[in-house]
Structure 1
Amino acid sequence: MSTTNSQPFYQLTPDTVIDAVESLGYWCDGRFLELNSYENRVYQVGLEDDTPLIAKFYRPGRWSDAQILEEHQFCYELAEQELPVVAPIRSESGESLLHFKDYRFALYPRRGGRAPELADPDHLFRLGQTLGRFHLVGQTRPFTERPALDIRSYGIDSIELIARDFIPSSLRDAYTSLAEDLLSGIEVCYRAARDIRSIRVHGDCHGGNILWRDDTPNFVDFDDARMAPAVQDLWMLLTGDDRQQQQLQLSEVIEGYTEFAEFDPRELHLVEALRTLRMLHYSAWLARRWDDPAFPRSFTWFNTERYWGEHILQLREQLAAMQEPPLTLL
């Protein structure tokens, strides 16, 4: 994405955000807080005599209108089943994707909470229950506009970008050789899993996108919702490097999950492959956004020789992890 096409996104000011919110008939009280978001721009906007709203301004070129609306519709389907998601607020005319000048945005209710305790078996069990119910909805029909999480988009495209434009020449041979081995390892994991079904998933189900409140996990930010295997929403709940610890965590998650939905144990062959794809995609995401001034300011460590050296070491560890037997259901 070029800076020229995206420049209005970088020039968002508090006045513009407030004007956009007030164009919907709200009265803002001047309180304004920029929240921690990089892919999009997200703000908490205070209202007179009412609870503040969250305004999310979409990055130009990331998703089409149809893809954004498909994400919103998925949230509404989940909410209709009384699942704890923070869905967009519809305007008086029934629209969820809103426009102001050159910007596209959505409004959300503010929802407080804290991150779940992923070392707590009760939290893991409850998360599994909730995701089981999510996936019952997710499997009822596919996304038709949003892409799938696959080896091409997360792996091959990411590697090609980094090798071509970012990896230092001193590390290029090591990176490209390792990348070939990683792609081969990922394909082996997918073949071991065989014909796994993809469903609509949250896609970025880490603790930062879950707000724990009143003993309930509230899921936010469905911006990465895609078609993917169900385990994509489960593996990020497994923390730490200790295999026994992850095995115990998995058992709690799956015990809750299977109260509502079936889980295909073959998907466990994909855990380390999906982790590897996420690592590759994350570096490529930073690279693709490097012309956004917010990224060099916030990720000062990226694109240094030290960063790429450590990245290669981490990817070598992942290559070894993919060669280990997968976790199992107890």
Structure 2
Amino acid sequence: MALALHPFEQLSPARIVDAVESLGFWLPGEPFALNSYENRVFLFHDDERRRWVAKFYRPRRWSDAQIQEEHDFLAELDEAGIPVAAPWCNAAGASLHFFEGFRFALFPQVSGQAPELDNPSHLFALGDLVGQLHGVGQRRSFIHRHQLDVPTMIEESREQVLGSPWLSRHQRKAYERISAALGEQLKARAWPSESLLRTHGDCHLGNILGRDEHFALVDFDDCLMAPAVQDLWMMLTAQDDQEAQMQLSELLEGYEQHRDFPRGELALIEPLRGLRLMRYAAWLVTRWSDPAFPKAFPWVADEGYWDQHLRTLEQQRQLLESNPRWLA
């Protein structure tokens, strides 16, 4: 019996062109695939030489209402003058489009380079950008998007990794022990739901583009209700304490041009890092049926990857037992 095709394997170049042209565009050339795994993203230019990004959403990941809430948030940010790529709307005002079983959206291309996290002026600009974002984000709550729910995310991640075939018996026992201990530490640092606001949710360097001190945020696919620090902690990459305090100081100075930063959330930085470590490994194993994943991440099937993952989780667990590093 032939194996069923993954939905994204049916997303041929011709189908992509037909989907975009169904909206009234004309493409003089084929779209160019961009580096994206959760969804499928393509760059194209139209007959007026305008450059666009077409994003085809992973089937069954988000509901239509959740995607629309992402788009509405982007439109609200764009209207407030915050540099984001807001989705294109047709004459009827629709930003989410449908073609032969796929849901997709078009965004104007944002060009530029990632910021330099050892450059104080870039850090100040990033803090300023996130402060503007949160100034709008705090106005209301998401209704359909997720909340950053630590206990649920930890348990889901553990189940997904333990249910995968890649860990040896020894590694499985070690993962059960270490992830359970780390999970308890993370759960103990939960935050009150009233402190949550609408955030980008995945504010790493790949989602920030610009030149000089002018940056824009792209890819709001993971936007959710979360503490404010969720959109800052991934920019804190320094290894020594002096540089770490420089990064934090510049980010917060820029951020507080627009709103006060809740300093108590600095204690969440390392817990959030630990949560991301667990979720990343779980993401890899749950997406393995997508043919793009074995090709891009072949080392997931290697015993050495899981040995290193276990060491990293244990190091993070030990770090959480020590004094907080990130202080205002």
Q: TM-score, normalised by structure 2?
A: 0.95
Q: C-alpha distance in 2, partners of 1:5/1:144?
A: 35
Question: Is residue 309 of structure 1 aligned with residue 307 of structure 2?
Answer: yes
- The alpha-carbon deviation at position 38 of structure 1 amounts to 0.2
Structure 2: which amino acid aligns with 1:216? H
Evaluate the alpha carbon distance shift between residue 6 and residue 69 of structure 1 in structure 2; reply closer, same or farther with a 3 A threshold: farther
2:28/2:46 contact within 8 Å kept: yes
Q: C-alpha distance in 1, partners of 2:57/2:193?
A: 35
- The alpha-carbon deviation at position 111 of structure 1 amounts to 1.5
- The alpha-carbon deviation at position 317 of structure 1 amounts to 1.0
Structure 2: which amino acid aligns with 1:251? S
- The alpha-carbon deviation at position 184 of structure 1 amounts to 1.7
Q: 1:86 maps to which residue?
A: 85
- The alpha-carbon deviation at position 69 of structure 1 amounts to 0.3
Q: 1:117 maps to which residue?
A: 116
Q: 1:244 maps to which residue?
A: 242
1:265/1:328 contact within 8 Å kept: no
Q: C-alpha distance in 2, partners of 1:297/1:93?
A: 40
2:269/2:326 contact within 8 Å kept: no
Evaluate the alpha carbon distance shift between residue 316 and residue 196 of structure 1 in structure 2; reply closer, same or farther with a 3 A threshold: farther
Unaligned ranges ≥5, structure 1: none
Q: 1:177 maps to which residue?
A: 177
Evaluate the alpha carbon distance shift between residue 259 and residue 52 of structure 1 in structure 2; reply closer, same or farther with a 3 A threshold: closer
Moved more, 9-18 or 63-72: 9-18
Question: Is residue 216 of structure 1 aligned with residue 243 of structure 2?
Answer: no
Q: 1:258 maps to which residue?
A: 256
Question: Is residue 7 of structure 1 aligned with residue 3 of structure 2?
Answer: no
Q: C-alpha distance in 2, partners of 1:6/1:155?
A: 31
Identical-pair percentage: 46
- The alpha-carbon deviation at position 327 of structure 1 amounts to 3.8
- The alpha-carbon deviation at position 5 of structure 1 amounts to 8.5
Moved more, 166-175 or 132-141: 166-175
Q: C-alpha distance in 1, partners of 2:225/2:189?
A: 18
Q: C-alpha distance in 2, partners of 1:246/1:25?
A: 50
Structure 2: which amino acid aligns with 1:12? L
Q: 2:233 maps to which residue?
A: 235
Q: TM-score, normalised by structure 1?
A: 0.94
1:154/1:278 contact within 8 Å kept: no
Query: What are the Cα deviations for residues 108-161 of structure 1, in whole angstroms up to 9, with x where unaligned?
Result: 111210000111000000111111111011111111101111213421110122
Structure 2: which amino acid aligns with 1:183? G
Q: C-alpha distance in 1, partners of 2:21/2:234?
A: 38
Q: 1:204 maps to which residue?
A: 202
Structure 2: which amino acid aligns with 1:130? L
SS at match of 1:212: strand
Q: 1:56 maps to which residue?
A: 55
Q: C-alpha distance in 2, partners of 1:196/1:23?
A: 43
Moved more, 43-52 or 80-89: 43-52
Evaluate the alpha carbon distance shift between residue 180 and residue 250 of structure 1 in structure 2; reply closer, same or farther with a 3 A threshold: same
Evaluate the alpha carbon distance shift between residue 123 and residue 251 of structure 1 in structure 2; reply closer, same or farther with a 3 A threshold: same
Aligned residues: 326
Q: C-alpha distance in 1, partners of 2:252/2:125?
A: 10
Q: 1:279 maps to which residue?
A: 277
Q: C-alpha distance in 2, partners of 1:8/1:186?
A: 35
SS at match of 1:310: helix
SS at match of 1:135: helix
Structure 2: which amino acid aligns with 1:136? G
SS at match of 2:195: coil
Q: C-alpha distance in 2, partners of 1:280/1:27?
A: 43
1:194/1:266 contact within 8 Å kept: no
Query: What are the Cα deviations for residues 53-78 of structure 1, in whole angstroms up to 9, with x where unaligned?
Result: 11000000110000000001111111
1:196/1:267 contact within 8 Å kept: no
Structure 1: which amino acid aligns with 2:88? I
Moved more, 72-81 or 7-16: 7-16
Unaligned ranges ≥5, structure 2: none
